[in-house]
Amino acid sequence: MAAAQSESNHTSIVEEGESHVAEVRGGWVLYQGCWLRSHNVQSVMLVQERFKARPDDTFLVTFPKCGTTWLKALAFTVTNRFRHAATSEDHPLLTQHPQDLVSFLEMPYRQLHPLADLEKLASPRLLATHMPITLLPPCVSNLGCRVVYLCRNPKDVFVSLWHFTNKVGADYTTPMDQAFELFSDGVSPYGPIWEHNLGFWKKYTAESDNVLFLKYDDMMAEPVKHVKMLAKFLCAPFTEQEVSYGVVEDVVHLCSFDKLKSIPINSSGETDRIGGLPMANSSYFRTGKVGDWANHLTEEMSKKLDDIVEEKLRGSGLTF
């Protein structure tokens, strides 16, 4: 590790008294095996203590930058298509950012915006989270809540995350090589990514009726097939008539990267969805491509991350 990196990558054990946090590194704290910013830890703790799941809740779960915006848009459009046809001129996605159509559990930070806001949502609720399975409140599993998990090639996740964090504010700016070292050590928001992926992969292999496990690259390659799978899982399967009328393609088109990126609410302005950190609405739409990592990572970086991920996932049946 270069000398210039050593300070911000410094690892230390936290003083007694902050017993929920085990370790601090580069501004990240390790909370119950998951790397978070400290204000995010507070929010997660509130969710763990107070969130009341309902048996008919469905959770859209993603590691950051795996296609959350896309999944929110698709799940919202599929489940609301009888009220709002995907082709309608007043579809909510034409005036609201996809991020705002499905609420996150732990964002905005629950110490700033009460969790009770989620109580006001009518059932069945669609809720999103970046939390790994180990941090989810036990009621989610105990009540048999369903999960749609979307993952993505970790190399593309890293590149997407790096661009995003460098856009949202100077405080988060980290040179790519330094961020890569941290990411490869598992230190990134909600990391390690392989633990996140594995946790939900194991849940999927144990209870496949309750978990739909999706990969970004597969969805990009065959969106129609995957949107049909999503609709079926969300108890809103497309009828034969809808299929023959091209309704699935309409949903795919409305939620496509190019279409969403072109809508003014997504291409302009700023919104604070976290608490004290306004972000450009356009920052959720960068390239929307599979394999963009090749434009940013050296061969050495690519091999290093491939080797780590392969080793961590070995024997699980999950591959990228």
Of residues 68 and 103, the one with the C-beta less far from ligand PAP: 68
- Decide: helix, strand or coil at residue 206: helix
| C-beta of 31 vs 285, nearer to ligand PAP | 285
Smallest gap from residue 13 Cβ to ligand PAP (A): 30
Nearest to residue 189, comparing CAs of 219, 218, 168? 168
* Best CA proximity match to 98, nearest among 249, 212, 263: 263
Q: Which residues neighbour 215 within 8 Å (Cβ) at sequence distance 6 or greater? A: 150, 151, 152, 320
Question: What are the strands of the beta sheet with 146-151, ordered from one edge?
Answer: 103-104, 126-129, 58-62, 146-151, 211-215
Nearer residue to ligand PAP within complex by CB, 24 or 35: 35
**Site residues for ligand PAP per CB under 6 A:** 62, 64-70, 156, 160, 163, 255-257, 260, 284-288, 292
Catalytic position from the list 91, 130, 196, 226 = 130
Least separation in angstroms between CB 29 and ligand PAP: 20
Number of H helices, E strands in the chain: 15, 11
The separation between the first and the last C-alpha atoms of the chain, rounded to the nearest angstrom, is: 27
Q: Return the number of the residue (57 or 156) whose C-beta is nearest ligand PAP.
A: 156
130 is catalytic: yes
| Token duo for residue 261 | 């990126």
Rounded least distance, CB 301 to ligand PAP, Å: 16
Please, what is the minimum distance in Å from the beta carbon of residue 118 to ligand PAP?
A: 17
Q: Whole-number minimum distance, CB 303 to ligand PAP, in Å?
A: 21
- Give CA separation, 263 vs 69, 84, 133, 285, 307, in Å: 14, 17, 34, 11, 39
Which CA distances in Å does 115 have to 48, 75, 148, 154, 167?
11, 22, 21, 31, 28
C-beta closer to ligand PAP: residue 172 or 257: 257
Q: Contacts for 119-125 with beta carbons within 8 Å, 24 or more apart?
A: 119/52, 123/54, 123/56, 123/57, 124/54, 124/56, 124/57, 124/58, 125/54, 125/56, 125/57, 125/58
The smaller minimum CB distance to ligand PAP, of residues 74 and 145, is found at: 74
Rounded to the nearest whole angstrom, what is the least distance from the CB of residue 213 to ligand PAP in the complex?
16
Q: Tell me which residues are annotated as active site.
A: 130
